[in-house]
Every structure is written in structure tokens, then in C-alpha cells.
Amino acid sequence: MSNKLPSVLLRAGEDRRVRGGHPWAFSNEILMDAETKALPPGSLAILRAPGGEALGLVTFNPHSLIAARLLTSNPEAKVDALFFGRRIAQAAALRDKLIGIPYYRLMHAEADGLPGVIVDRFGDSLVVQVNTAGMDVLTPILLEALEAELSPKTIVLKNDSPVRELEGLKREVTVAKGEDVDPIELTENGATFVADLSGGQKTGWFYDQRDNRRFMAGLAKDASVLDVYSYSGGFGVLAAREGAKSVTCIDRSAAALDAARQAAKLNGVDKIMTFEKAEAFETLEKLRGTAARKFDVVICDPPAFVKSRKDLKTGAQGYRKLVRLAAPLVARGGFFFVASCSHLADTALFAEQVRRGLRDAERTGRILRSSGAALDHPVHPSLPETAYLKALTLQLD
């Protein structure tokens, strides 16, 4: 079957990285003759070394910078629901071992062998994000495999990520299976939360912060807590549940705060929580200016400030500003958690901005913990730059 597939050929000298295990070939590394250029975006193809040797099967998009994405190094493989099913089963077995309950990121793209595919699991509901033309073409097979492996009640195709535009894909949200069940309840760290799978941000919930939430909740006993960019209360509600004295959640999304309020009720901590719909920087400035209020624990988990390579500098400065504004609100001896989900800002750059922000605020302290995304967000060994989440926890003097 596979010998009927078209071939795409790497240019002279450009096969080394793929032979070394890297799962991508960029468009400038591929011999773009008229025939190759004319292949429909998302075509399945055999990737060949300059000498003609088959290196594996790829999905190919002649219009994307990341033109070829390796599905398997076996050029004879049959890419069908069984092929997808094996990868899904393997990923599910790993999560069942790591997390133990069916609330997790099930598929994390290349790291789980399905480039461009994100699947978050909420019990018997799945949220799927397909971010490449290749996987868009293969979506029916992906859905068939998810059905065969997990028989979910609901599958939401949350295909609204801006990265789809780089692949020439439409942005849309559809319910591929079942009823729209929103909002749903999920369990994490022993607490109950509320997520809107089709209308929320990204997949509706940020599982990546699971371990960081638990760690911060451990520091929050008897503490006053400020959770900035709280979304639906992942940090704040857990801190309240684990014994915080008071928790203030700030976010500019009313829908996210509604979900946080519901979670507070479900966990019996609504009496000690307050919610404010507001702009983060403005609120931080206001809190410092007016009441000179201090918190024992301040958590800042903003959206990605660096969205593209060209705004690396200004975006990175956003973290410095955030730290400059938030650090003054941390009580002496208190704890400060700050995160970046900008994949373009690496750990060193982020840590440098945090250091500068602390200097600007004239605060000293110590880094207690440097962490990333939870274990259900594995990283392909050849794509360390896709480890997007960086977080620092400090104690401030």
C-alpha cells in the first residue's frame, strides 16, 4: 500500500537530523520540485534521503515551514485506525500509571507519536485539537481510533488554535460525538473543578499545572493567597481547600471566573474566596497603591507573553513587568510563584526576566523550585524547545 504513496526527497546533506531522530523536515530542506509543491496539504508521503533511501512516513504540507512531520520510521507501515489506536493505547496506559484517574492530557503531539494532535481526557469526554494539515486529513481515522480504544461519550473537536492558520486550516469548534455536555466537572488533586470543553480556553482546562498547583497548595496553609490569571481556579480553589485563610482570584474572563466560583462552591470553600474580573497589571498596581496589601502567597500564571519570534524581546519584558508589579504584594517570608507558557522564551531567558523584575521591585529572595508541566505532557527528546511551561517558586525576604 505504502509504495503507492508519493515521495518527498530531502536535499543533499539535509537527512542528518531526521536520521538522528528528529521528527521534522523544514520546507527549505526538501527538494520542492513542481510535483512535490503540488501535493495537497496534509498528504501522506514517504520521506526519502537524497540517495532515495526511505526514512519513514510523513504528513506533508508544502505550504508550511515545518513541511514534513514523521509519523513512523517504518515506510511500510499502514496508517489506519489500528496504527493510531496503538499509540493511543500506549499513551493511555502511561497516563493511567502516572495519574491514576482518567483526567489528564492523553496525547501530547510528537512526544506521544501523533504530531499535531492534542487530546485532553475528562472521564468519558475527550477534547481533541488538531493543529496540522496532515492530522486534519487523518481526523476521521483518529476519531475512529479514539472510539475503538476509549468509547468516549463525547468528543469535542476544539480546532480553534491560531497555529492552524500556519497550516492553511480553518478555525472551528465542533462536537464530533455525543451531546454538548458543558460545563463538566473534573477531578484533580482530590478537588472538583468545572470546565467548559467547547467554549473555554484551549481544551477547557490546563492540566499542565497539576503538580505546581499541588505544590503551591502545600505552601498555602493558613495563608492569604492571591491567584492572578486564575482562569477557573486551578491554583486558588485547591489552595483554599488545603487550608488557606483567604484566596483572591483575578482574571479578565467572566466565564473563567464563573467556573472558578462554581468550583469554590463544590469544594465548600466559597466563603473564603473572592473573585475579581479585572486586568492583571492594573489590579496589581491598584493593590499596591491603595491598601498596600500583602499576601503570604502570590501566584501569577499569565497567558503566553511571547507569541512569535519577533516579539521575543517585548514579550519577555512582560514577565519582568509582571514580577515588578507582583513582588511588592508578597509578604516578607512569603512565597511567589510565576510561570511562563511561552515556548519561545527558554528557561534562562525567563529566569533572567524574573531576576530583573525582583531588582526593579527591590526585593530579594531565593528560588525554591524550578518546574515545568506535569508528567502527562511529555517532550520528544529531539524537540526540547516544545517544553513550553517554565515556573519558578521563590521565597521573598
Binding flag, residue 323, ligand SAH (CB under 6 A): no
| Residue closer to ligand SAH, measured from CB, 215 or 235 | 235
* # chain residues binding ligand SAH, by CB under 6 A: 17
| Residue closer to ligand SAH, measured from CB, 41 or 318 | 318
Binding flag, residue 209, ligand SAH (CB under 6 A): yes
What part of residues 215-254 is at the interface with ligand SAH (CB under 6 A)? 229-231, 234-235, 251-253
Binding flag, residue 186, ligand SAH (CB under 6 A): no
Binding flag, residue 319, ligand SAH (CB under 6 A): no
| Residue closer to ligand SAH, measured from CB, 15 or 196 | 196
Q: Among all chains, which residue has been given the C-alpha cell 514523521?
A: 70
Report the nearest approach of ligand SAH to the CB of residue 277 (Å).
Answer: 9
Binds ligand SAH by CB under 6 A, chosen from 237, 263, 269, 280: 280
Binding flag, residue 279, ligand SAH (CB under 6 A): yes
Candidate list 341, 345, 373, 389, residue with the active-site label: 341
Binding flag, residue 372, ligand SAH (CB under 6 A): no
249 is catalytic: no
Binding flag, residue 199, ligand SAH (CB under 6 A): no
Binding flag, residue 126, ligand SAH (CB under 6 A): no
- Name the residues annotated as catalytic: 341
Contact residues for ligand SAH (CB under 6 A)?
201, 206, 209, 229-231, 234-235, 251-253, 256, 279-280, 301-303
